[in-house]
Structure 1
Amino acid sequence: MLKIPRIIEYIFVCFGLWFFLGNPINLITSGGAGQLVDVSEANSNFLLPAISMLLYMVATVGILLRWKLILARLKSSPQSLLLVAFLILIFISPEWSARPNISSRRSILFLGSTAFAIFFSFSFSFKQQLRFLAIALCINTFVCFLMGALLPKWGVMHVPPHTGAWRGVYTHKNKLGAQMALSAVFLLTTQYINLFKGHWKQIIKVSILLAAFMVIASKSTTALLASFTMALTFFVCNALKLNYRFMVIAISSIVLTAGSAIVYIQANAEALLGALGKGTDISGRDELWPAVMHMVSQKPFLGYGYEGFWGPAGGPADLLRQLVGWPAPNAHSGFLEILLAVGWIGGILFFISFFITVTKSVQLVRITKQSYAICPVIILVFLTLSNMTESNLFVRDSWILYVWAALSSIPILSTWSAEEAERDDSADYPPTVSYERQPELSGQATQTS
């Protein structure tokens, strides 16, 4: 049986995560210096999908080499079956898509990103996965900072109304703000976990400071809100680890504080948004979202196919753009994009899967009472917030993070024990443990590696 050196898998996963979380290929090859980058044209560049397909193929081979282990774990989770049904719907959606050729090609890439997420979720222990995510986020943070500080021609936007806002390696400032908000809170969470030793701890601290700086430099209101909410989530999850009496007191205090802040923000929304250069129309989204729902009602069951709605002139998006009076590039909501792509049938499959994933992730915190169990919850909160006003859910990095959050709790909730957690805590980096977390599958995992 083919045996792949473990160090090669470490390098592959770290590179893959960094590549999907943020690389400058689109920005540089599009010639987007000093201007707003046309994402649809940037995505047409052959280099990005070529590298992506290579990573997907390698991940698929890795899945095939340990298919029994992965299949056994997938069978033990109800959200996995819903996820598979959702993926099947995406894959066959070109049959009714308004742009079948585009839907066909991009649905394959979408399945490839899912394969990478599955390989990542089931080929390493949970703490190894957190290490790889933390390393990828650190690399991305440093690269984004260097792009903004040393290469402002690309790393900073120069066209009104976003003049001076940092965008790092991304095509828009909002993407940088969202990713840096995630990096800051996620890396801060890892400080409470015994993941790294020596110089890595200092690198994590510097990355947190740089990420926090770039949240502000991006001038993204959504990123600021996401940072605050994820930090609040961190405190709530830590409260879940307390005994019942103190847990109720702590959560009640947090909810009371957050509720008071929300009431204050609602009462002073116009003044606060004005101070941030925003309006109460949420940059035109108050007109866009009703128009999107109108288009969903025209094809409510199966939608317009994956990536089949938005596109150049002559597509179904033309009517929507006439309704709103401006050239909307997307729905500015990841959840509405699901309804446009696969209708309410796909939407229900996803939303049920999402609810189960949230429930399992909170359960993971409560059962294990370990700080590392908070990380999937942080990811889910980030995905929820970032997809309320932006269409990021179907983007490779967001989808990989969601699949990871959906699958990461499966082996832990089924086999977790205090002794195993203590042994995992004492592991040195780089880790040397093998694939198994389930004792009964350890022999099988070793044979397939």
Structure 2
Amino acid sequence: MTPRRLVVSLLASAEFARAYTLTALAAVFASFLIERLTSTPTLVTILGLLAVIGAAVLMARREELSLLRFAPTSLIGFLALAIISVLWSSHRSHTVLDWLSLLGVAIVAITIGHVRDTLQTVRAIGDVLRWLLGLSLALEVLSGILLDIPFAAFGIDGNLALGGPIQGIFGTRNMLGFVCVVALITFVIEWRTQSVGRGVGVLSVALGGFLALLSASPTVVVLAAAVGVTTVALTIVRHTPPARRATVQWVLGALVAAALAFAFAQRHRIIRLLDAGSDFSTRADLWNAILDWVAGKPVTGYGWFGSWTGGEYPFQYINFQLSDHHQSALNAYFDVLLQLGVLGLALFLVLGGVATVRSWLVASVRRSVVYAWTPLLLVTLAVESMFESFTLSGAGWLLLVLCALRAGQTRSWRQNIDDAQTGAVPTLGAER
């Protein structure tokens, strides 16, 4: 075997796919820790190499891939608009660099989505998050109890003995809370599919729940409530006879719309109950300032920048106006609206919305509970995006692209075209 064929064989092997998936997930979820321990160029280099290797894996497996189902159209449109925005960006080099970061993580997610199935993906994320959450707890115990000193290098304040809030290796309490909710969904799916033993399942859920509680993040309560309601609704649909399933879906949709309207009407009381008044007040002031700036460029926005760390226009002026130093809009929807305008927000909503509907329909008819992972993750991302911009970078962006790809692979107009070309007959109901 020639060296070239040996490399191609290695890249296309199942063993390499598993190793790549675990390595990529660990690097993305632990990006804050990697950056703190090394440097930003080191982190960028690691993620860049993972994207290049991912592209090589896709090339090695190109005969297994279908061009029609390679990536969601809305994702391609969003990425295209983000790079086109360089034409009206105030700092074109930063736009290009942040777009490359967005593209790199998307390539990693697309690679994982094509080389691993849903259960394998759940197992990989579960394994990675068990280690990272365990490391977070160990460092918090060492910092907050055994040594009683903060670990500035890790971004840990050492508040464990005080009952929190803690950050773990994820930088902020809200990011830790978000990761814990993702972990809890993944751990429960692992447990239900018997992918892990009962002992591992119980300890994993206990670890995720304990760290979520100690994070003292007000968004965790909202995320937990949203995931809980979604789980109950999906369970009802899955156990409804097929003849009445459509009616139940519409009824649940109406109840969700009514609940959202009630929550908006009672938002001030809910905020007081969550003890998140000061946090929300800060966000409300920021969002009002953003809307004022959006009025200047409502269609195209000010160009893609991702995070606000570079201090470009108009972010520096917004922070100056508020006498603050925000690094994002604290809301993914407002961030997209500010940077890519109404066009970008529409593509972003289509990317997440269509994926949610597709994954929900698949999960409602297939017997295996593993299909519930995708819609539950998408609901988590949608709700979290109302309070943070995690979905536009790093682990949040990877999960969004991965879930959108997974949903498109199982229920898509492109699948029907592909099946027609290959002579296959789509039988969703039979693939349970």
Q: Into which bin does the TM-score normalised by the smaller protein fall? A: 0.7 to 0.9
Per-residue deviation at 1:331? 0.7
Q: Is the Cα contact below 8 Å between 1:303 and 1:339 reproduced in 2?
A: yes
Q: Is the Cα contact below 8 Å between 2:355 and 2:408 reproduced in 1?
A: no
Residue 221 of structure 1 is matched in structure 2 by 218
Q: Is the Cα contact below 8 Å between 1:269 and 1:280 reproduced in 2?
A: no
Match of 1:61 among 56, 59, 81: 56
Q: Is the Cα contact below 8 Å between 2:329 and 2:389 reproduced in 1?
A: yes
Are residues 1:108 and 2:100 paired?
yes
Per-residue deviation at 1:16? 1.1
Letter in 2 for 1:228: A
Task: Tell me: CA distance 1:102–1:361, structure 2 relative to 1, closer, same or farther (3 Å).
Answer: same
Letter in 1 for 2:233: V
Higher relative contact order (CA 8 A, sep 6+): 1
Residue 25 of structure 1 is matched in structure 2 by 33
Per-residue deviation at 1:350? 2.0
Residue 19 of structure 2 is matched in structure 1 by 11
Are residues 1:98 and 2:90 paired?
yes
SS in 2 for 1:361: helix
Letter in 1 for 2:43: L
Match of 1:316 among 314, 317, 322: 314
Residue 70 of structure 1 is matched in structure 2 by 65
SS in 1 for 2:277: coil
Letter in 2 for 1:25: L
Task: Tell me: CA distance 1:291–1:45, structure 2 relative to 1, closer, same or farther (3 Å).
Answer: same
Are residues 1:133 and 2:125 paired?
yes
Per-residue deviation at 1:163? 9.6
SS in 2 for 1:203: helix
Residue 359 of structure 1 is matched in structure 2 by 357
Residue 348 of structure 1 is matched in structure 2 by 346
Residue 231 of structure 1 is matched in structure 2 by 228
Letter in 1 for 2:178: A
Task: Tell me: CA distance 1:114–1:309, structure 2 relative to 1, closer, same or farther (3 Å).
Answer: closer
Are residues 1:186 and 2:186 paired?
yes
Letter in 1 for 2:393: V
- CA RMSD between the two structures: 3.3
Per-residue deviation at 1:221? 0.7
Q: Is the Cα contact below 8 Å between 2:300 and 2:340 reproduced in 1?
A: yes
Identity of counterpart residues, as a percentage? 19
Residue 396 of structure 1 is matched in structure 2 by 394
Letter in 2 for 1:50: T
| TM-score between the two structures when normalised by the length of structure 1 | 0.79
Q: Is the Cα contact below 8 Å between 2:17 and 2:116 reproduced in 1?
A: no
Residue 421 of structure 2 is matched in structure 1 by none
Task: Tell me: CA distance 1:13–1:315, structure 2 relative to 1, closer, same or farther (3 Å).
Answer: same
Task: Tell me: CA distance 1:87–1:260, structure 2 relative to 1, closer, same or farther (3 Å).
Answer: closer
d(CA) in 1 for partners of 2:211, 2:104: 31
- Superposition pairs for residues 272-283 of structure 1, below 5 Å? 273-274=271-272, 276-279=274-277, 282-283=280-281
- Superposition pairs for residues 154-193 of structure 1, below 5 Å? 154=151, 156-157=156-157, 164-193=164-193
d(CA) in 2 for partners of 1:310, 1:409: 31
d(CA) in 2 for partners of 1:282, 1:46: 34
Per-residue deviation at 1:249? 7.5
Letter in 1 for 2:195: L
d(CA) in 1 for partners of 2:33, 2:134: 16
d(CA) in 2 for partners of 1:13, 1:86: 24
Q: Is the Cα contact below 8 Å between 1:310 and 1:316 reproduced in 2?
A: no
d(CA) in 2 for partners of 1:342, 1:21: 26
- Superposition pairs for residues 425-444 of structure 1, below 5 Å? none
d(CA) in 2 for partners of 1:309, 1:326: 15
- Superposition pairs for residues 239-254 of structure 1, below 5 Å? 239-244=236-241
Task: Tell me: CA distance 1:216–1:281, structure 2 relative to 1, closer, same or farther (3 Å).
Answer: closer
Per-residue deviation at 1:264? 9.1
Q: Is the Cα contact below 8 Å between 2:125 and 2:186 reproduced in 1?
A: no
Task: Tell me: CA distance 1:280–1:314, structure 2 relative to 1, closer, same or farther (3 Å).
Answer: closer
Deviations 1:306-326 (A, max 9, x none): 217834556322332344343
Q: Is the Cα contact below 8 Å between 1:239 and 1:250 reproduced in 2?
A: no
Task: Tell me: CA distance 1:363–1:345, structure 2 relative to 1, closer, same or farther (3 Å).
Answer: same
Letter in 2 for 1:3: S
Match of 1:336 among 331, 334, 337: 334
Per-residue deviation at 1:93? 2.6
Residue 419 of structure 2 is matched in structure 1 by none
Per residue, is there more helix in 1 or in 2?
A: 2
Are residues 1:150 and 2:142 paired?
yes
Q: Which moved more, 1:82-91 or 1:174-183?
A: 82-91
Q: Is the Cα contact below 8 Å between 1:14 and 1:132 reproduced in 2?
A: yes
Q: Which moved more, 1:128-137 or 1:146-155?
A: 146-155
d(CA) in 2 for partners of 1:186, 1:246: 30
Letter in 2 for 1:350: F
Letter in 1 for 2:347: L
Residue 426 of structure 1 is matched in structure 2 by none
d(CA) in 2 for partners of 1:296, 1:209: 43
Per-residue deviation at 1:332? 0.7
Match of 2:43 among 45, 48, 65: 48
Across the two proteins, how many residue pairs are aligned to each other? 399
Unaligned runs of 5+ in 1: 31-43, 422-449
d(CA) in 2 for partners of 1:10, 1:119: 11
Q: Which moved more, 1:63-72 or 1:95-104?
A: 63-72
d(CA) in 1 for partners of 2:128, 2:306: 32
Per-residue deviation at 1:20? 1.1
SS in 2 for 1:46: helix
Deviations 1:174-228 (A, max 9, x none): 11011112211331133222433x4xx4223211111111111011010121012
Task: Tell me: CA distance 1:281–1:216, structure 2 relative to 1, closer, same or farther (3 Å).
Answer: closer
